Structure 1
Amino acid sequence: MVISQSEYYISPEEYLEGEKFSEIKHEYIDGQVYAMSGASDAHVTVSLNVSLLLRNHLRGSDCRVYMADMKAQIDVINRYFYPDVMVTCDTQDKEFEYFKSHPCLIIEVLSESTEGYDRGKKFASYRHLESLQEYVLISPQQTTVECFRRNEEGHWVLYPYGKEEEVYLASVDFRCAIAQIYEDVLLIDENIS
């Protein structure tokens, strides 16, 4: 969530160095730094569940799963974001300690304050990553997972998943029951009779 903006241009190098010591996380857009707010219990639980499921699935492979504190670099448009969950299988990313430039999968858990941004401008930014095969949006309030998958023509196709369905992420050949993503999360749609 954007809650403050710097008035002065900050270089990517200054940003990366500052983030090493900052007590709060910031996203970086064209020389401007934006502080990020905290997340709800449901948001954190969904992020953790997905991270653990992916980590267990990818254990022993060349892929790495990152949650919340690893930056995604979009060099061609001068941006750094902190995805909720990110997977990279590209060996080039091993040389970067504080960011990854070649993710194949990015997952954002939505919140009321960031949903429009995650669906709009942030997704538009992420589409500049040639390595990105899937962009996933997960609601922490109801059983809804939306997977945007890049097809052979380079177009993004929506694959929505709902209650009692199996979620499939082709980028890492991963399947799970949607209920596993929502384990220990109190959902709004469960409270409606």
Structure 2
Amino acid sequence: MSIQRNENKHFTFQDFLSWDEGSRYEIFDGAPVLLASPTTKHQGVVSFLTIEFGMHLKGRECKVFPSPFTVRFSEVDDYENADNVFEPDISIVCNKNQLDLYGCKGAPNLVVEVLSPSTSRNDRIKKYNAYQRFGVSEYWIVDPLNETVEVYVLNTGTYKRGNVYGREDVIKSQQFESLEIIGEEMFSYGE
């Protein structure tokens, strides 16, 4: 079934499941939002981070999931009818009880969004606010054009911006202390 735009319709995860295979939408507070087609640089960053996170987490409880991987948020833990359904570029989930056939129920431990020109506003405002509201412990915003990484850490329900890293830096996670990402390698991957 294709998505029929209707200002009065409040979409949920059940609608998401009925949409055509391969459709690239997310749901923000019940409204469908079209996802951008990623660039090579975008996918290079996602691929590099997926490999690095995967190697770092090997043998641990935490697992890394690149997009497409569905994350569902619900105010009342009704994940079958969640009205916030996202496909972050990368999700790290440390609680296996959050995983089901369709993805993750509730907040991953760490989420990475790689900016695209058409989705930058959503990643910086809508998703930032949703990830903060639903308790994502650490949120990375990667800007492949300006070659920066902003790390936000949840502290008593509010994001505090940690470091802002550039191409020449070693990027560190607050949650995974021994994890180090070399900015030069990440931003040049796929070039």
Same fold per TM (> 0.5)? yes
Instruction: Report the AA paired with residue 75 of structure 1.
Output: S
2:27 equivalent to 1:23: no
Decide which moves more: 171-180 or 82-91: 171-180
Q: How far 1:5 sits from its partner (Å)?
A: 6.8
CA distance in 2, matches of 1:89, 1:129: 16
Q: How far 1:176 sits from its partner (Å)?
A: 1.9
Query: Structure 1's 103 and 114: CA in aligned 2 closer, same or farther, altered over 3 A?
Result: same
Is residue 11–residue 32 contact of structure 2 (8 Å, CA) maintained in 1? no
2:125 equivalent to 1:126: no
1:154 to 154, 157, 170: 157
CA distance in 2, matches of 1:5, 1:144: 37
Is residue 73–residue 80 contact of structure 1 (8 Å, CA) maintained in 2? yes
Which residue number in structure 1 is paired with residue 91 of structure 2?
86
CA distance in 1, matches of 2:180, 2:4: 39
What SS is found at the alignment partner of 2:188?
Answer: coil
1:139 to 121, 137, 143: 143
Which residue number in structure 1 is paired with residue 49 of structure 2?
50
Is residue 49–residue 183 contact of structure 1 (8 Å, CA) maintained in 2? no
Provide the TM-score with structure 2 as the length reference. 0.84
CA distance in 1, matches of 2:127, 2:107: 16
Decide which moves more: 82-91 or 168-177: 168-177
Q: How many residues get paired? A: 179
Which residue number in structure 2 is paired with residue 9 of structure 1?
9
CA distance in 2, matches of 1:140, 1:99: 26
CA distance in 1, matches of 2:128, 2:4: 20
Residue identity (%): 22
CA RMSD, Structure 1 to Structure 2 (Å): 2.1
Q: How far 1:32 sits from its partner (Å)?
A: 3.0
Unaligned regions of 5+ residues in structure 2, if any?
A: 76-81
Query: Structure 1's 161 and 13: CA in aligned 2 closer, same or farther, altered over 3 A?
Result: closer
Which residue number in structure 2 is paired with residue 35 of structure 1?
34
Q: How far 1:42 sits from its partner (Å)?
A: 0.4
Provide the TM-score with structure 1 as the length reference. 0.83
